[in-house]
Structure 1
Amino acid sequence: MDSSSCFIIMWLVVTTITIIYPSSCLGMKRTYIVQMNHHLKPSSFVTHDDWYSHSLKSIESTTTTENAIILYSYTNAYHGFSASLDLNQVKALRQLDSVIGVYEDTLYHLHTTRTPQFLGIDNELGLWSQQLNAASHDVIIGVLDTGVWPESKSFDDSAMPAVPSRWRGECEQGEDFKATACNKKLIGARKFSKGFRLAAAGVISKERDSPRDQDGHGTHTSTTAAGVQVGNASLFGFASGTARGMAVHARVATYKVCWKTGCFGSDILAGMDRAIADGVDVLSMSLGGGSSPYYRDTIAIGAFKAMEKGVFVSCSAGNSGPSKSSLANVAPWIMTVGAGTLDRDFPAYAILGNGKRVTGVSLYSGKGMGDEPVQLVYFPSNNNRSSSGNLCMPGSLEQEAVRGKVVFCDRGVNPRVEKGQVVKDAGGIGMILGNTAESGEELVADSHTLPAVAVGRKFGDEIREYLKTEGDNAKAVLSFGGTVLGVKPSPVVAAFSSRGPNMVTPQILKPDVIGPGVNILAGWSQGIGPTGLDTDTRKTQFNIMSGTSMSCPHISGLAALLKAAHPEWSPSAIKSSLMTTAYTLDNTKSLLRDAAAGGQVSTPWAHGAGHVDLHKAISPGLIYDITPQEYIAFVCSLGYDIKQVQAVVNRANVTCTKSLGDPGRLNYPSFSVVFGGKSRVVRYTRQLTNVGPPGSVYDVTAEAPKGVQISIKPKRLVFKNVGDKMRYTVTFVSQKGGDNGDAFGSITWKNAENQVRSPVAFGWSRLI
């Protein structure tokens, strides 16, 4: 079996995240990340790099294969290196006392105008406005993604002062990317591809070795976080208006770590390592994998070191919803962001032959299909033509059955825009994309290359029934309604947004918050069409996309604003302010709804603490702060052996003399209570820090679900001075017969000015 075959097998099992190879590939070299006990470096070596190289050479006598190749040496986010190794070399390295661990490279994937108004950023922020505008110039957001399109108008630097002198980054020259491409707004651009190129050698067509974004995702996320104001922005007329990021005065530095096959852990770690060294204040990463123990999670390990150095890390929760326990990036030192809708929509309509007018959404901008109904066809899975015709998979539609007709396709499995292209390639003139139970009533608009309307599950089922009843007499015509504002209810939790509970540490509630992540307009690459399909030759400066990839940079930008307002705040303080001030009522003053549940009430396992609110987060009153030492005590409470603890916290000399005992004792802004076995009582103590005026007094209220009792002592906290810290203890009791499934409540400390709210999720060990 050649290297190409081995790589193809890796691609087929990508949903498991860890790369798997057949036995015939075991002699091949693969990428591994080696974590070293950097305190054991002999004084005879001038640098750690020299020591790493010597360590590899020292095992040559025990192996018979060619020399190992070092890809990256890590200093800031990690202590160690990544290298191309065979299994014999891996075994020999693991026997060295200086090696903490050797881990196979992991493949991660991307989690893929109106939002400033929706979040209230365009409104007057009172005394904060002038301070934020000036202070934001010194805040740097590092975006790890697919690179950047530097010519985007969103990176205009005409209003920016000189780059902060503390900045240590650079603009790397590469193919079709000049070192002068950066400016005072986009202050850095680097690329990391060694892990990708080693894995993809001889298999994937050569990608340009450059920070330039040929995918669009990286430009979209970076301009969402901090793009400047650009007038007359739209996607072919949709969402027309002034586009802007969250922190328009902040700086942007991009680190290209994602390529056509995904994002390799070795490249991500190198990007994080460099970003920390360059001097970023915020790290925004709209990518992730599955749930792994923290000592095997590259992002979690790199983020721990970033947190220690004062860098706020925001990551997307994943797009694997509405499945339960589908979250990525769940470490408590990471801000885990889910997705919600805006109050903006792009209505489109399908008028059936029976006169029924079905409403959906679309970003189609072409000539349309006319006013005359044409035959509507559907190929359910029991149809003899194809077992995947209902999904409109490539090669599943026969031209003689589709030509000149509108095709109904079920949502799922393959990309939505690909379904439209499959219909078009088969000669269809239109498509209706119908949701199934998995996506519920969630509507995501796409810029299809043919007339297409996406409809929710209810309307989808009605159309399926119509097709079943009418057979060959079924007809439809499609029409399009442009852009509509003021949609109610909103926000609604997106069906695709990944859900809790947290399977790595059930005692930590995730996601943390939700932000705008559906139909988001932001900057786009000129190297690819808006659908991302190779056949799409259209060019646009802005694109509308959906995913937790889109919600993550919103929170990254808000964190930059909070950093500007409160430069002394730690990453956990910024996180706390965003969480405890988040709202759980939509614009109809009703509880947040869940698109996947047909509009039923959402839960903290879907929305975390709620939807972010910058106005309130700037002055949260109280914060739950967490020191790096407390995070170490948290890791020590997870049942890991000492080497695994050292791997997570990136300290070889760490000991677990201090442990929380129960991970839920971490001073986190939310609660996840797990009742287990015969234990029906869980007791936690939290500490609040006053960041409001001196003399602040707070009283507590609690909402408990049926079958659970919550008691809190003391019930009043009096803070004499700014910076004062006070503790309270909360006792949760599961009453007999109360363990009947998921349950939720809240704890809120409030006075006339502030409400500091913490969601509480309850579970019983046999259910999680």
Structure 2
Amino acid sequence: MEGICQNDNDTKFSCNRKLIGARYFSKGYEAAIGPQSLVVRSPRDTDGHGTHTLSTAGGSPVSGANVLGYGNGTAKGGSPRARVAAYKVCWPPVNGSECFDADILAGFEAAIHDGVDVLSVSLGSDPSGYFGDGIAIGAFHAIRRGIAVVSSAGNSGPKPGSVTNLAPWLLTVGASTMDRQFPAFVLFGKHRLKGESLSTASLPRNKMLPLIRSGDAAAANASYEDANFCKMGSLDAKKVKGKIVVCVRGINARVEKGEVVMLAGGKGMVLVNDPSSGDETIADPHLLPATHISYSDGLKLFSYLDSTKFPKGSISHPFTMLGNKPAPFMASFSSRGPNIITPEILKPDIIGPGVSIIAAYSKASSPTGLQFDKRRLPFNSESGTSMSCPHIAGIVGLLKALHPEWSPSAIKSAIMTTSRSRDNTKEPIKSSFLAKANPFDYGSGHIWPSRAMDPGLVYDLDMIDYLKFLCSLGYNSSQISTFEAYKCPLNLTSLMDLNYPSITVPSLKETVTVVRRLKNVGTPGTYVAYVRNPIGVTMSVNPERITFEKVGEEKEFEVKLMPVGASEGNDYVFGSLEWSDGKHNVRSPITVKFKEN
């Protein structure tokens, strides 16, 4: 790789033997909003997001990494010995816009020209057709040159159909929890409820303080709803002073709510999940004593507040705790399927750690991102699919080093088909409501890096497969020629027959036959097919046994899906197909929706 260290407007910025390239792209941003003196025309990270994600993907080992003393240990990225490059395409938001397609495409073009091996793309927008999606277009050209592109699924969950970065050539990553937490308990009545926090501030020990629901402390000019969410300026200082305030999650940033309470004279904050956030809790570096509790525990706290004349409570000091169960489970914010652009392609593809992730951070910003916060830290804890994406990108880098002959789609298949769908209690992975999750939540499952090294078989794809896919979507040859010169075949293939590592049938009324092609990337052997039928569907595989005699050998098979008995109406049903030789287990999720009569 040959990178450029762009410091034309920032002579103090420099690269090194680790960061071998850094460039910025702002012409689209400036063309849309006009020349802005606030724009720092430099690759320098001013808000921490880029530093956090890049160090997660490829940061070198650093001992003593922690956030305010919590989570202390050695931090390193997924590909810790990789050389890295940064391509800055996002800028301070103006009217909700911060990442423009013109800049995104320029960044892709530069990265392709520089010769990177993997692109980690922790950004996205609302789902749209592939020819109107800058990430999809840029990624297509990267894939064409053998560059794997990993992208975030979005943070609009748990709403169904909210997943973004839907192109089949992208490896789209959702977010899960992990088994590390930072417990801080809220104490009241006979209850001791576990929340999470990274606050260093403490309340007096063995002393209970008055508790108040934020909605009951609304300022004269504020609505109950605004106060309920602890929005800026919504609280009455006379009602809040000296008390622990209970705020509801949503609308504004979690850490901003703490600032609102602190400015009004509150002594502490309990953040309670709204219904959509379920049991997911996040550790944030709050400026005041605080803890974040689940929705179900929040109901207990609100019940106490409503039934007690003079409610009192306290918040314990946080600590680091490992080995939590169950883990992983789905982050509530992680965007969910189905794919609303191409329902025949399951998205997300995979999930990885994305909650309370500790990684390097920019000292140009505070750990909360608030101007009120004057702290500056070398590491910070962040949550989002922006954090899970580089976890997978780092693993892609390792696989590319281990298997340089593998295509991006082979690497993607290895990651997807070797993933796990059970947590550390050996139960099925759960949603943020601790109910059983499904492939629209987690795709193929949770990343299992050591197994991805030796998947046995892969579902491989080349550029012709993707071009045929675009033809089947209805794009004509002249449109596709903007990607690559290609003439669509007269006989178009079914979208369901794209050689993807998962199978989705979005409209099943009669028997459907789906074709797939397996490539051997392991030792010679015979694989046997095992199916787990979705409810109301019978599946059969032909042939049921496939023998591979050499590496690189490819063989096709068919899966027939037949509706039986009463259908599930508008609901999707889920099953799986697994090929096994006794050593390797190549698993694909099956997703089916019955066609309405």
TM range (shorter): over 0.9
Shift of 1:196: 1.6
Q: Aligned residue for 1:732?
A: 561
Q: Aligned residue for 1:344?
A: 180
Residue pair 2:567, 2:594 contacting (<8 A) in 1 also = no
Q: Aligned residue for 1:197?
A: 30
Alignment RMSD (CA, Å): 1.7
Q: Aligned residue for 2:534?
A: 705
Q: Distance in 1 between matches of 2:492 and 2:291?
A: 53
Q: Aligned residue for 2:457?
A: 622
Q: Aligned residue for 1:474?
A: 311
Cα deviation 1:709-738 (Å, max 9, x = unaligned) = 101100000011111111100011122422
Q: Confirm whether residue 168 of structure 1 aligns to residue 5 of structure 2.
A: no
Residue pair 1:348, 1:480 contacting (<8 A) in 2 also = yes
Task: Select which of 107, 116, 126 maps to 1:280.
Answer: 116
Matched residue type, 1:199:
A
Q: Say which SS state the counterpart of residue 367 (structure 2) adopts.
A: coil
Residue pair 1:673, 1:761 contacting (<8 A) in 2 also = yes
Q: Say which SS state the counterpart of residue 260 (structure 1) adopts.
A: strand
Matched residue type, 1:230:
V
Matched residue type, 1:302:
G
Q: Confirm whether residue 542 of structure 1 aligns to residue 379 of structure 2.
A: yes
Residue pair 1:675, 1:734 contacting (<8 A) in 2 also = no
Q: Confirm whether residue 183 of structure 1 aligns to residue 12 of structure 2.
A: no
Q: Aligned residue for 1:662?
A: 494
Q: Aligned residue for 1:530?
A: 367
> 5 Å matches for 1:221-240?
221-240=53-72
Matched residue type, 1:182:
C
Task: Select which of 393, 398, 410 maps to 2:248.
Answer: 410
Q: Aligned residue for 1:465?
A: 303
Matched residue type, 1:169:
G
Cα deviation 1:590-620 (Å, max 9, x = unaligned) = 111111xx21111000001001111111110
Q: Say which SS state the counterpart of residue 493 (structure 1) adopts.
A: coil
Q: Distance in 2 between matches of 1:469 and 1:506?
A: 49
Shift of 1:458: 0.7
Q: So what's the TM-score if we normalise by structure 2?
A: 0.96
Task: Select which of 209, 230, 233 maps to 1:374.
Answer: 209
Q: Say which SS state the counterpart of residue 198 (structure 1) adopts.
A: helix
Identity %: 46
Aligned length: 589
Q: Aligned residue for 1:483?
A: 320
Q: Confirm whether residue 297 of structure 1 aligns to residue 127 of structure 2.
A: no
Distance 1:551 1:660, change over 3 A: farther
Q: Say which SS state the counterpart of residue 411 (structure 2) adopts.
A: helix
Structure number with larger C-alpha Rg: 1
Task: Select which of 35, 38, 51 maps to 1:206.
Answer: 38
Shift of 1:371: 3.6
Residue pair 1:177, 1:211 contacting (<8 A) in 2 also = no
Q: Aligned residue for 1:443?
A: 281
Residue pair 1:680, 1:735 contacting (<8 A) in 2 also = no
Q: Say which SS state the counterpart of residue 592 (structure 2) adopts.
A: strand
Q: Aligned residue for 2:583?
A: 753
Matched residue type, 1:447:
P
Residue pair 1:220, 1:523 contacting (<8 A) in 2 also = yes
Q: Aligned residue for 1:257?
A: 89
Q: Distance in 1 between matches of 2:488 and 2:226?
A: 54
Shift of 1:680: 2.1
Cα deviation 1:291-325 (Å, max 9, x = unaligned) = 10111111101111111100000000001110000
Q: Aligned residue for 2:335?
A: 498
Q: Say which SS state the counterpart of residue 275 (structure 2) adopts.
A: coil
Residue pair 2:573, 2:592 contacting (<8 A) in 1 also = yes
Cα deviation 1:88-137 (Å, max 9, x = unaligned) = xxxxxxxxxxxxxxxxxxxxxxxxxxxxxxxxxxxxxxxxxxxxxxxxxx
Residue pair 2:476, 2:488 contacting (<8 A) in 1 also = no
Q: So what's the TM-score if we normalise by structure 1?
A: 0.75
Shift of 1:168: 2.4
Shift of 1:379: 3.6
Q: Distance in 2 between matches of 1:274 and 1:766?
A: 47
Q: Distance in 1 between matches of 2:37 and 2:304?
A: 45
Matched residue type, 1:733:
M
Distance 1:171 1:466, change over 3 A: same
Matched residue type, 2:428:
L
Shift of 1:489: 1.1
Shift of 1:381: 8.8
Shift of 1:205: 5.8
Q: Distance in 1 between matches of 2:550 and 2:216?
A: 67
Shift of 1:656: 1.1
Shift of 1:174: 4.3
Q: Distance in 1 between matches of 2:60 and 2:417?
A: 29
Q: Distance in 2 between matches of 1:367 and 1:736?
A: 61
> 5 Å matches for 1:235-250?
235-250=67-82
Residue pair 1:675, 1:681 contacting (<8 A) in 2 also = no
Q: Confirm whether residue 600 of structure 1 aligns to residue 435 of structure 2.
A: yes
Unaligned runs of 5+ in 1: 1-166
Q: Say which SS state the counterpart of residue 632 (structure 1) adopts.
A: helix
Shift of 1:480: 1.9
Matched residue type, 2:60:
V
Q: Distance in 2 between matches of 1:381 and 1:350?
A: 19
Shift of 1:640: 3.1
Residue pair 2:526, 2:545 contacting (<8 A) in 1 also = yes
Q: Aligned residue for 2:425?
A: 588
Q: Aligned residue for 2:520?
A: 690
Q: Which moved more, 1:296-305 or 1:637-646?
A: 637-646
Q: Distance in 1 between matches of 2:332 and 2:251?
A: 15
Matched residue type, 2:18:
K
Shift of 1:263: 1.1
Matched residue type, 1:417:
V
Q: Distance in 1 between matches of 2:492 and 2:280?
A: 41
Q: Confirm whether residue 574 of structure 1 aligns to residue 408 of structure 2.
A: no
Residue pair 1:339, 1:551 contacting (<8 A) in 2 also = yes
Q: Aligned residue for 1:716?
A: 545
Q: Distance in 2 between matches of 1:659 and 1:313?
A: 30
Task: Select which of 230, 243, 247 maps to 1:392.
Answer: 230
Q: Distance in 2 between matches of 1:247 and 1:658?
A: 44
Matched residue type, 2:102:
S
Q: Distance in 1 between matches of 2:448 and 2:491?
A: 34
Shift of 1:251: 0.9
Matched residue type, 1:458:
S
Q: Aligned residue for 1:318?
A: 154
